[in-house]
Amino acid sequence: MDHQPKFFENLSGSGKAIGVLTSGGDAQGMNAAVRAVVRMGIYVKAKVYFIYEGYQGMVDGGDNIVEVSWESVSSILQIGGTVIGSARCKAFRTRAGRLQAAYNLVRRGITNLCVIGGDGSLTGANLFREEWSGLLEELAQKGKIDEEAVKKYAYLNIVGMVGSIDNDFCGTDMTIGTDSALHRIIEVVDAIMTTAQSHQRTFVLEVMGRHCGYLALVSALACGADWVFIPEYPPEEGWEDTMCVKLSENRARKKRLNIIIVAEGAIDCHNKPITSEKVKDLVVQRLGFDTRVTILGHVQRGGTPSAFDRILASRMGVEAVLALLEGTPDTPACVVSLSGNQSVRLPLMECVQMTQAVQKAMDEGRFDDAVRLRGRSFENNLNTYKLLSQKKPDAELPKSNFNVAVLNVGAPAAGMNAAVRSAVRVGITEGHKMFAVIDGFEGFAKGKIKEINWGDVGGWTGQGGSILGTKRTLPGKFLEKIAEQMRTNNINALMVIGGFEGYESCLQIYEARSRFEEFCVPVCVVPATLSNNMPGSDLSMGGDTALNVIVETCDRIKQSASGTKRRVFIIETMGGYCGYLANMGALAAGADAAYIFEEQFDIRELQANVEHLTEKMKTSIQRGLVLRNENCNENYTTDFIYQLYSEEGKGVFDCRKNVLGHMQQGGAPSPFDRNFGTKISAKAMQWISKKLTETYRKGKVFANTEDSVCLLGMRRRNLVFQPVTELKKETDFVHRIPMEQWWLKLRPLMKILAKYKTSYDVSDSGQLEHVAMHSPKEAETGAI
């Protein structure tokens, strides 16, 4: 992008006052958003006020509206819920209540509001904004404020952030709290699966979502549930028989447990509720299975926010302050939200109207419209779920006569197994014979290859590591043997799930085509590496799980440091030469610094960091956290930095170090990684099917073009297939990283929130977009 960078330094908040409130139901991550608004506001020299207890506090005034400092938001990043409280407020629904609220704000000079809540809270804020000038005039007539105040505070700026665990707000891919709620659900499902397995039980799980089935749908995808009930997609007439047949078929296939997920707002096609008890009774009566109901309830709202929610909320909070600073009397109230991994601003009322249109469509029985209005992400989830959950009878499956092999390459990454399951099941649905290769290309050369069926991959989504086994070995050494195995097993296409080695392997296979005709087949690589260092993709599976491990560890370490006081921890993260984990981990854990290879540093910077921490120890926040990527500098090692900090901080703070190591590679995959792996892999397999049909000539597959060896990656907002040869020019092969990395733009964000002076390029923000309803075709080509 050849834009002239636009920096926010010329946006001054001097003389402005910002009020921040949380309203409606609480959601994990709200505190991270509050922290970002306060710190960014203070950073640009604005005054920032907490408004306690939502709109109730705004109406009551007094001690409910308090100016805050930098330290006021210390240590709240890892706390769930909202520290400034949230309350339902009847008074604000009346004009008299809003008049009182306006008076309380004007008295403090607050004309910028940042509202974190659901669509009801945001609609209320918009009405308040529209009435603002009238309210001020009424206050002047009553003699409560003078004419000068009416002129000075003539307009109210409003920016919203959506905090809702249901993800029920149109226009945004993810609302604050949704990912954390999914973490809670998946933790419970994983735990229930072990007990259900022991007793051959069926579990019916009820999750939140009175009007929106997002949580139920995505958790069903992430745990491979047998059946899901959501408000937007009621089951067809006679669903009772269909479901019971499916459950008994699964048992017949030696599956020892069944999981059924019910959204609390689930309905049938006649708009009658489907409750978890009703489902349980049905299973018991018809099948006689031992069945239990678990209602998750408010567990889903609780607990510490996930890494994703902290980063999302921190980005949104900073963006909200920028939007307020740029606001004019003509700027409509906007919502800052996420599309793909891009921050966007959308007109608040357009989003609210679209959200209400979903409910209207559901009330009128137009369920296809409701799904489409929910957005591309929701529609993709639903389509993928339909594809993977029910196996068609063999007689109904097409017969393609193609054999497709799936293998893992590189280091293990959380989500790999979900991706294999998805590839195998989509492949079978498309009519292919699926083969699993054990132990990567090394295993391939040794003939470790076997056919894999639908039932073989059941229960794989929640498993960490790589069940197929994976090796870093590249195919270059064994090309002849691999070609022989491909010939013997008549393999017509390859799907590689792996990291940088996976990408390099596909390059080697492409380059070997002139010598081995067996490699003239469609090949697709799907990014799976916790380092997130793949060219052609902004994200790769495994990264989110590793980030959560880093953040959980940092939370514990910070707690220990708070107890002992005056202690700084140096934490080493993985990632090879890619600083993604160190940088994003630092942003999510509220660290003071992160050393990465991509941003070279010298002894002067290390010295400045020590001085910064020395100053910090004089405040009420007497602890420090510093992250270091394992390969950020060959001489400034973790030991060196630890010793330097220990020496320079003598008498002021002491130091400890922690190398996280392979902890970051293990553990159950996060909901995001399961979901990302499942969807990206399904899409890759559909591409392979298309390529097989296109390249089938005279009884055999012959694919020798560049675009028949592709990497499927997420670019900004879309999933894109890119020929591996084209990606060569974007890759630094020595350090195994892409030459340009999107997340480096977020680096100043971490520094600002840790109180460093820095430049922040805001060229990508500031554009108000419109909410567009997409066509059904777009869901197939579009975002995850």
Task: Give the E-state strand segments of 578-686 in sequence order.
Answer: 593-595, 623-629, 654-659
Angle made by CA atoms 723, 726, 730, in degrees to the nearest 5: 125
Residue reference for tokens 């591309």: 376
CB 214 within 8 A of CB 354: no
Active-site residue list: 166
Residue 511: exposure state from Cβ atoms within 10 A (0-12, 13-18, ≥19): middle
Residue reference for tokens 């604050």: 176
Amino acid, res. 285 = Q
CA distances in angstroms from 553 to 484, 571, 621, 661, 706, listed in the order given: 47, 10, 19, 12, 44
**The two three-digit tokens of residue 269, written as one number:** 């096609």
757 CB contacts (<8 Å, ≥6 apart)? Answer: none
For 722, half-sphere exposure in the C-beta direction (CA atoms, 13 angstrom radius) is 20
Query: In this structure, what DSSP letter does residue 650 have?
Result: T
Q: Which residues of 232-262 are buried (b: 16+ CB within 10 A; e: fewer)?
A: bbbbeeebbeebbebbeebbeeebebbbbbb
Mind giving me the DSSP string for 679-691? HHHHHHHHHHHHH
In angstroms, rounded to a whole number, what is the distance separating the alpha carbons of residues 485 and 482?
Answer: 5
In angstroms, rounded to a whole number, what is the distance separating the alpha carbons of residues 676 and 679?
Answer: 5
Helix (H, G, I), strand (E, B) or coil at 575: coil
- Residue closest to 528 by CA, chosen among 466, 570, 579, 594: 466
Mind giving me the DSSP string for 51-66? ETTHHHHHHH-GGGEE
Alpha helices in 375-415 (DSSP H): 376-389
Helix (H, G, I), strand (E, B) or coil at 153: coil
